[in-house]
Amino acid sequence: MEVLQNNLDRNPALRTRFNQEKLQLRQAIQQRQLARVTADTIYVPVVFHIVLRNPNIVTDQQLRDQVDTLNKDYAGLNGDSVKILPAFKPLFGKSIIQFRLAQRTPSNEPSNGIVRKVTTHQQFNYNDPSVKFTSMGGDNAWDRNRFFNVWVTDIADGYLGYSTFPQGSSPSEDGVVIHYSSLPGGSPPYDRGRTLTHETGHYFFLYHIWGDENGCGGSDEIDDTPNQGGSTSGCPSGTQTDNCSPAAPGIMYQNFMDYTNDACMVMFTHKQVERMEASLDQYRSSYRSTNGHIPVGLVNLDAGLTAINAPVQRACAASFNPVVVLRNQGIQTLTAVEIRARIDDGTSVLTQWTGSLQTFNETQVNLGALTTTPGTHTLTIYVTKPNGGTDLDLSNDTLTTTFLYQPPVSPPLTEGFEGNTFPPTGWDIINPDQARTWQRASGIGKSGQASVEMRNFSYQASGTKDLLRLPVMNIANADSAFMTFQVAAAVASNPNASLNPMDTLEVLVSTDCGVTYTSLYRRWGNNLITRNTPVTTPFLPLANEWRKDSVNLTPYIGQGEILLAFQNTTENENNIYLDDINVYSVVINPTLKERGFLVSPNPVQGDGRVYVQFYPNPVNLRSIAIYSITGARVVEKPVNGDGSSLYTFDLSLLSSGVYVVRVVFSDKTITQKIIKR
C-alpha cells in the first residue's frame, strides 16, 4: 500500500485513473459471476529476476517449488486447507488462475523463466524501483502483457515483499518483489512461499483483509470476509475475535491477505477469487492469449527480421541505406538470405546476405541504397529464400515502417509554433509508448499565441522519453553556431528532494540520422524550473516565467547533416513548454579573423559610432583609448574583466579629423588611425 501511495503521489493523473478503475472493477465482477462456471484455466507465465550479489544462493528447485505453491494456493489444492475453521469452509475459494515458469523470452528464445543478475547493491529499498531497471543495478521487466514479473532480491528494513496494483504503476515497474528468504525452504516462519501468494493477490487487485485502516472503517471491498480491525501476526488457532467481529466465527486470520505466518495462512474466499479473476480479465486479459508458457517450437529453415534500425522515422538524405536485424529462428544454420526493400509501391532493391548465423543468433545487415523524394513514405523490408530454400514460417519475414524525408536546411531556422500544422514541416516526434507526447499549446507562448508543451502532469508513465526533432540541418561556412530557445517549467513535488525523480529536458544532437545521440544540454528540478514553488495543478506559465537558454553548436560546423532534438523524460511532475526556437550561425569578418583586431567603420559615419573588435576574445587587455593626432587622449573605455570582444565609442561630439586608436596589452601595444568626417 505504501508503494501504491508513493506512485499515486508522484502522478496525480495515475491517482485519478486508479480510482476510476476501482469502480469499473466492481461492475466487471458483477457481470462475470455467471460466466465463470464454464471458464477455462488461465496460465500465467512467470519470470523470476534473481537480483543479488550472489544470485546462485537461490536454486532453481526453490523457484519450481514456489510456482507449485502458487498453483496449489490459487486452485485451493493446498494440503493445509484442512486447517480452515469449520465456519469458513463454505467460503473456501478456488481460482482458475494457474502459473507456469516462462518457456520463452520476449524475443521467443527458449527459457526456463529464471534470470540471474549480479548486482552491486547490498539491498533495495521498497520505495526504490532500481531493482526493476538494468541501468540502476537491477534487471529490466519482460513484457508485462505476456509475463508476470517477479523480482527476488534482498529488501531492506525487514520487508518480505511488495506488489504493484493493476493500473497503479508505470508498465516498466509492474510486478512483484519478494525477499529471497521468503521462498520455500527459506527463513522461518516465512519459509513456505506464501509471501508471493499474498503479493500476487495484490497484483490481481486484492487489498489486505483488514482494509488497511486501523479500526472498523476500513474495507477490503470483499463481501464474504469478516470486518477486521487490523492485521494479524504470529500463528493463532481457534476462533479469534476483535472489536470489529466480536462474536464467532470472528476474524479470518487464515486468509492469504492477512499477515500471519506462512504455516497459518491457507485460503482465499469465493469473492476474493471473483475479484482476482475479474481483475485479470479487466487489466491483464493478454494472459489469456500469451504464449509465454509454451515451449518454443522450431522449424528447419526460418529467417526472420526483428527490427529496422535505420531509418528511425527519418531519412536524412535522398539516398540512404536501410539497416535491419536478421535473426535465425530455425534449426539449420543460415548461410544465405535474400533481403528485399522497397519504398511505397516502388521497385524492390535486393541485398544478398551471406554468412553463418546459428539458431537464435542475429546480425545487423546494411542493405543496398534506396532513393526517395521529399515527404512521408512507407518502407517495406522482407526476407526470402533462406539458404536458397523455402522459409517455413512466414510470420516473421516482413517489417514495415514509415519515414519522413525533407532536404537538409541551413541556418537560420526559427520556429514559434504559430502555424496550425504540427509538427511543423520537417519536424517529427518520437513517441515510443504512443501515449502523451509533445503537442502544440494554443494560447500559451513567450511571444505570439502558441508554443509546444509536454504534459508531464497528466502522463501515466514514468521514465518514458519523447523526442521533438528539428529539420535536418547542415551548418557550414560559419565560425560559430548556436541554438536558443525559451523554456518554462514547473514541478508538482518538492524540487529540493534529493531522491525524488524529476522530469528532465535535454537537447540532443545526432550525426548518424538518429541512430545515436549526444546530449548537449540536460536540466531537471531546480536547474530547469521557472516557477520555484510546487504546482499541484497543470502548470500554465505566466509572462515572466520563461527563461532563454542557449546551446553551443560550434563543434558541429562542417560535420555534415546533423539532427537536433528536444528530449523529455517524464517523472509525472508538471508541464514543460518551449517557444521561440532559433538556430543561427555567426560568420566573423575575414579581416578581423586574419588580424585579430578591427576598427570599423573607417571613416567613421554620421552617427559618430566606432567599434573596436577582437578575435578571439582578448587576453591580458589593459586599456583602449582614442587620441587626437597631436597626442591628446579624447576618449577612453574601461576594460571589462570578462574578456569582452566588442567595445563601442561615440565620436559624435568630436570635430572632423584624424584620430588614433591605441590598444594596450600587457605584452604589446596596437595603434590604428581612423578618420572622423
Q: Work out the widest C-alpha separation in the chain, in whole angstroms.
A: 119
The DSSP annotation for 445-491 comes to: -SSTTEEEEE-GGG---SS-EEEEEPPPEE--S-SEEEEEEEEEE--
pLDDT at 37: 47
Per-residue pLDDT at 471 exceeds 60 = yes
Q: Where are the domains of the chain?
A: 2-207+269-288, 303-405, 413-586, 590-676
CATH architecture of 590-676: Sandwich (2.60)
The fraction of the chain above a pLDDT of 70, given in percent, is 95
By annotation, the residues acting in catalysis are 199
Specify the higher pLDDT residue, 324 or 496.
324
Residue 336 pLDDT greater than 70, yes or no: yes
Pick the CATH number of 303-405 from 2.60.40.10, 3.50.50.60, 3.40.50.920, 3.40.190.10: 2.60.40.10
- Quote the pTM value: 0.63
Residue 420 has pLDDT above 70, yes or no: yes
Distance CA 178, CA 163 (A): 9
Query: What's the CATH number of domain 2-207+269-288, 2.60.40.60, 3.40.50.720, 3.40.390.10, 3.40.50.2300?
Result: 3.40.390.10
Mean pLDDT, residues 378-385 taken together:
98
How are beta strands 42-52 and 97-101 bridged, if at all? parallel
Contact 162, 176 (CB under 8 A): yes
Average pLDDT over residues 114-141: 92
Tell me which residue of 204, 225, 230, 211 sits closest to 267, measured CA to CA: 225
Q: Which three cell numbers stand for residue 372?
A: 526517395
| pLDDT exceeds 60 at position 34 | no
Q: Which has the higher per-residue pLDDT, 155 or 15? A: 155
Contact 410, 476 (CB under 8 A): yes
Q: Which DSSP state fits 638?
A: P
User: 69-110, pLDDT tens digit by residue?
Assistant: 999 999 999 999 999 999 999 999 999 999 999 999 998 889
Residue 32's pLDDT band, with cuts at 50, 70 and 90, is low
Does 249 have pLDDT greater than 50? yes
Q: What is the mean pLDDT of residues 377-401?
A: 96
Hey, what CATH class is 413-586 in?
Answer: mainly beta
The reply to whether 590-676 shares the fold of 303-405 is yes
Q: Which residue has the higher pLDDT, 215 or 676?
A: 676
Predicted confidence (pLDDT) per residue in 434-455, tens digit: 788 999 999 999 999 999 999 9
Is the predicted pLDDT of residue 224 greater than 90, yes or no?
yes
Taking residues 371-389, report their average pLDDT.
97
Confidence of residue 598 (pLDDT cuts 50, 70, 90): very high
- For the stretch 500-513, pLDDT in tens is 789 999 999 999 99
